[in-house]
Amino acid sequence: MQSVTASSVRSRIRAELVEEIKASARRQLANEGAAALSLRAVARDMGMVSSAVYRYFPSRDDLLTALIIDAYNAMGERVEQAESIVRRTDYRGRWMAVCHAVRRWATENPHEYGLVFGTPVPKYAAPADTITPATRVTRVLVDIMIDAVRTAALTVETETVPKAVRVDLAPVRSFFGEGPEQLGDDLIVRGIMAWTHLYGAISFELFGHRVGSVSNHDGFFDHEMRRIAAFVGL
Amino acid sequence: MQSVTASSVRSRIRAELVEEIKASARRQLANEGAAALSLRAVARDMGMVSSAVYRYFPSRDDLLTALIIDAYNAMGERVEQAESIVRRTDYRGRWMAVCHAVRRWATENPHEYGLVFGTPVPKYAAPADTITPATRVTRVLVDIMIDAVRTAALTVETETVPKAVRVDLAPVRSFFGEGPEQLGDDLIVRGIMAWTHLYGAISFELFGHRVGSVSNHDGFFDHEMRRIAAFVGL
DNA sequence: TGTACATCAGTGAACGCGCGTTCACTGATGTAC
DNA sequence: TGTACATCAGTGAACGCGCGTTCACTGATGTAC
């Protein structure tokens, strides 16, 4: 008994240090950018010697991977939380809650956002365990559309999708389980476009490409996401 | 006379070397990414000593700026060229030509695209002389819309734009001269959204976020841009 | 409960590397008279 | 046209810096009997 608690104390401290290292790395990310993230700087910041960090992360890339997974999960959690408190039948409200939650998280954590949605870090290949966290937000958006279709609340005149594009949609359906069978080809296309637009708008704002075009970013984003919601029939 | 030609020989050689340095830097960009672009590697690649590069570019950042300006201009030229050969009254055709030209250039030069539309390079502030080249593509898109409105070829049911957003549109109008006066608030909003979507789609494809959703990138892009064209009334 | 051993966290030195930038210099090319 | 001087391109050494990763080590903490 004694030994068990003692051991778990050690592992708890370990877990805390892992978190501290990641927090420090996140801070460095904000100052220097992903490419310049260095283990030595993290160690310095933590008051340890650089080799000590290797007890927690076997390499720089593993630390980067951990940050990416954390970023996806942080974003996913924020989105799920924000969406969950909206009345279930208010599909448009749920959709807008997701859009705003993504944007809010992104503006609060621009460098983590950039790590995930910006230029890929050179020489870094994202491992498979980033996939699941990466789809959390999309999952929520898809579910809203499915719910709306099920209750016949989706109002949109569907258009025909060319065969060349239609073929592509099978993997999407299968990825999201049985739900999307209920979405027609046209709605899946619209969904992918909406998803693209959401991140496109946020990236444009955060990466400075709307300077000179938009100054009231909040207002514009809200308005355009409303239009995108309408575009998918919500 | 002699001296003049002689001098221009020297300056011609200089100009050629500047181009060679930029070409080498572009190659390095493709291999290592923007953050890792180094003057020493460029010098090595050119077979000169690292300090010699300083005869041509006063610092690493100046080289970066030159690459950014070149990228915008290369993209701008490609787009202007592609758009110019379409029949003037085929507004939708002109629009699609622009979209495809941007995408083609981007897929052929992914790292230059990333340099401009990806995560901003940390500690690097783009100077004012990047602004004009940066707007060449947008200029073409705006002109197509203006032409279509002038000839009453634009078919779209305009929606009302909230005041909060409308206020924002004045700078856009003034930036593009007198033309956009003819575009209603709604059309300007749609235009900004279309512009956002164009780069959003290309970034998503290039940065790997469509893996698993879209495999026929050509086909999907064509289809979605057609829908965006319809969205702006073309 | 007490002791002998195993595991773990963190140290400190070292490896070999690359970077941006400066500076005094040599030698070639251009300019003015 | 010929010479004296000025400009320019490129060299090579040096500055001070930071990086990722390895390795043998000390000392503390946990485990088994």
Q: Is the CB of B7 under 7 A from strand C?
A: yes
The pLDDT of residue A118 is 93
pLDDT at B79 over 90: yes
What value does the mean pLDDT take over residues A106-116? Answer: 95
The pLDDT of residue B182 is 80
- Whether A219 and B118 lie within 8 Å, measured CB to CB: no
Instruction: Identify nearest nucleotide to residue A37 by CA to C1′ distance.
Output: D19
* A76 CA vs D3 C1’ separation (Å): 79
The pLDDT of residue A3 is 39
pLDDT more than 70, % of chain B: 97
The pLDDT of residue B7 is 61
pLDDT at A5 over 60: no
Burial class (CB in 10 A: 0-12, 13-18, 19+), B125: exposed
Distance from CA of A56 to the nearest CA of B (A): 26
What value does the mean pLDDT take over residues B146-159? Answer: 91
Mean predicted lDDT score pLDDT of chain B: 92
- Could you tell me the pLDDT band of residue B1, with boundaries at 50, 70 and 90? very low
The pLDDT of residue A7 is 61
* Distances A109 to A75, A78, A80, A106, B154 between C-alpha atoms, Å: 10, 12, 17, 5, 40
What value does the mean pLDDT take over residues A79-106? Answer: 98
* Distances B31 to A125, B65, B84, B175, B225 between C-alpha atoms, Å: 14, 19, 34, 37, 31
- Could you tell me the pLDDT band of residue B230, with boundaries at 50, 70 and 90? very high
Long-range Cβ contacts of A70-73 (<8 Å, 24+ apart): A70/A22, A70/A112, A71/A109, A71/A112, A71/A113, A71/A115, A71/A116, A72/A116, A72/A130, A72/A133, A72/A134, A72/A136, A73/A133, A73/A136
Q: Which of A59-68, B37-46, B166-175 has the lowest mean pLDDT?
A: B166-175
Q: Which amino acid is at B59?
A: S
Tally of CA atoms within 13 A in the half-sphere of B23 that contains its CB:
7
Higher pLDDT, B1 or B111: B111
Write the pLDDT tens digit of every residue in A191-217: 999 999 999 999 999 999 999 899 999
The pLDDT of residue B149 is 93
Mean predicted lDDT score pLDDT of chain A: 92
The pLDDT of residue B89 is 97
Write the pLDDT tens digit of every residue in A147-194: 999 998 888 888 999 999 999 898 888 888 777 778 899 999 999 999
- Could you tell me the pLDDT band of residue B6, with boundaries at 50, 70 and 90? low
Higher pLDDT, B147 or B4: B147
Q: How far is CA B161 from the centre of its chain?
A: 28
pLDDT more than 70, % of chain A: 97
B172: chain A residues, CB-CB within 8 Å: 212-213
A224: chain B residues, CB-CB within 8 Å: 189, 192-193, 196
Q: Is the CB of B31 under 7 A from strand C?
A: no
pLDDT at B188 over 80: yes
Distance between CA A95 and CA A229 in Å, rounded? 7
What value does the mean pLDDT take over residues B29-50? Answer: 92
What value does the mean pLDDT take over residues A107-125? Answer: 89
pLDDT at B136 over 60: yes
pLDDT at A93 over 90: yes
What is the widest separation between alpha-carbon atoms in chain B? Answer: 68
Residue nearest to nucleotide D10 (CA to C1'): B52
What protein residues sit with their CB closer than 7 Å to strand D? A 3-4, 6-7, 9-10, 37-41, 44, 50-51, 54, 59-61; B 10, 14, 17, 48-52, 55-56
Instruction: State both tokens at A78.
Output: 């924020």
* A166 CA vs C2 C1’ separation (Å): 74
* B31 CA vs D17 C1’ separation (Å): 24
- Provide the number of CB pairs (under 8 Å) joining chain A to chain B: 150
Q: Which DSSP category does B120 fall into?
A: P
* B128 CA vs D10 C1’ separation (Å): 32
Chain C nucleotides reached by a protein CB under 7 Å: 8-14, 18-24, 29-32
A121: chain B residues, CB-CB within 8 Å: 33
Chain D nucleotides reached by a protein CB under 7 Å: 8-14, 18-24, 29-32
B164: chain A residues, CB-CB within 8 Å: 216, 219, 223
Distance from CA of B7 to the nearest CA of A (A): 42
What value does the mean pLDDT take over residues B114-130? Answer: 85
Distance from CA of B64 to the nearest CA of A (A): 16
* A7 CA vs C1 C1’ separation (Å): 20
pLDDT more than 90, % of chain A: 76
B165: chain A residues, CB-CB within 8 Å: 216, 219-220, 223
The pLDDT of residue A6 is 53
Instruction: State both tokens at B116.
Output: 């401009």
- Whether B32 and A122 lie within 8 Å, measured CB to CB: yes
Distance between CA B117 and CA B119 in Å, rounded? 7
pLDDT at A2 over 60: no
Q: Contact B191/B140 with Cβ under 8 angstroms?
A: no
The pLDDT of residue B46 is 95
* A18 CA vs C2 C1’ separation (Å): 35
- Could you tell me the pLDDT band of residue B16, with boundaries at 50, 70 and 90? very high
Rg (CA), chain B: 21
Which A residues between 47 and 66 have a beta carbon under 7 A from any strand C atom? 48-52, 55-56
- Whether B119 and A114 lie within 8 Å, measured CB to CB: yes
Q: Is the CB of B1 under 7 A from strand C?
A: no
The C-alpha angle with vertex B155 and arms to B158 and B189, in degrees rounded to 5, equals 40
Instruction: State both tokens at B48.
Output: 């000169």
